Amino acid sequence: MDEQAKKKRPTCSDEFKEYAVRLVVVEGYSFKKACQTVDVCEAALRS
Protein backbone atom coordinates (compact mmCIF):
# COMPACT_ATOMS: atom_id res chain seq x y z
CA MET A 1 0.00 0.00 0.00
CA ASP A 2 1.23 3.46 -0.90
CA GLU A 3 2.38 5.83 1.91
CA GLN A 4 -0.20 8.40 0.81
CA ALA A 5 -2.97 5.86 1.33
CA LYS A 6 -1.78 5.14 4.89
CA LYS A 7 -2.11 8.75 6.08
CA LYS A 8 -3.77 9.05 9.45
CA ARG A 9 -6.79 11.31 9.84
CA PRO A 10 -6.11 14.50 11.76
CA THR A 11 -7.65 14.54 15.23
CA CYS A 12 -9.08 17.38 17.28
CA SER A 13 -7.51 18.16 20.64
CA ASP A 14 -9.64 17.94 23.77
CA GLU A 15 -9.33 21.72 24.19
CA PHE A 16 -10.61 22.26 20.66
CA LYS A 17 -13.59 19.99 21.28
CA GLU A 18 -14.31 21.72 24.60
CA TYR A 19 -14.40 25.06 22.79
CA ALA A 20 -16.85 23.70 20.23
CA VAL A 21 -19.04 22.23 22.98
CA ARG A 22 -18.98 25.58 24.78
CA LEU A 23 -20.29 27.26 21.64
CA VAL A 24 -23.31 24.95 21.69
CA VAL A 25 -23.98 24.69 25.44
CA VAL A 26 -23.09 28.18 26.66
CA GLU A 27 -23.36 30.38 23.59
CA GLY A 28 -26.48 28.72 22.16
CA TYR A 29 -25.04 27.79 18.75
CA SER A 30 -26.58 24.89 16.87
CA PHE A 31 -24.25 21.93 16.41
CA LYS A 32 -24.02 22.65 12.70
CA LYS A 33 -23.26 26.35 13.26
CA ALA A 34 -20.56 25.51 15.84
CA CYS A 35 -18.90 23.18 13.31
CA GLN A 36 -18.98 25.91 10.69
CA THR A 37 -17.54 28.42 13.17
CA VAL A 38 -14.56 26.22 14.04
CA ASP A 39 -14.27 25.10 10.39
CA VAL A 40 -14.59 21.33 10.77
CA CYS A 41 -17.09 18.81 9.47
CA GLU A 42 -19.72 17.49 11.86
CA ALA A 43 -18.19 14.00 11.90
CA ALA A 44 -14.91 15.39 13.27
CA LEU A 45 -16.60 16.67 16.42
CA ARG A 46 -18.83 13.67 16.92
CA SER A 47 -15.88 11.35 17.50
In a domain, 1, yes or no: no
Nearest to 42 by CA among 27, 13, 20, 18: 20
* DSSP conformation class of 10: P
Its domain, for residue 31, covers 11-46
Domain count, the chain: 1
Q: Are 32 and 42 in contact (CB under 8 A)?
A: yes
* DSSP conformation class of 22: H
Rounded to 10 degrees, the C-alpha dihedral 33/38/39/40 comes to -90
What pLDDT was estimated at residue 19? Answer: 92
In a domain, 21, yes or no: yes
The pLDDT tens digits of the residues spanning 28-39 come to: 999 999 999 999
What length is written for the chain? 47
In a domain, 6, yes or no: no
The pLDDT tens digits of the residues spanning 3-30 come to: 656 667 667 788 988 898 899 999 999 9
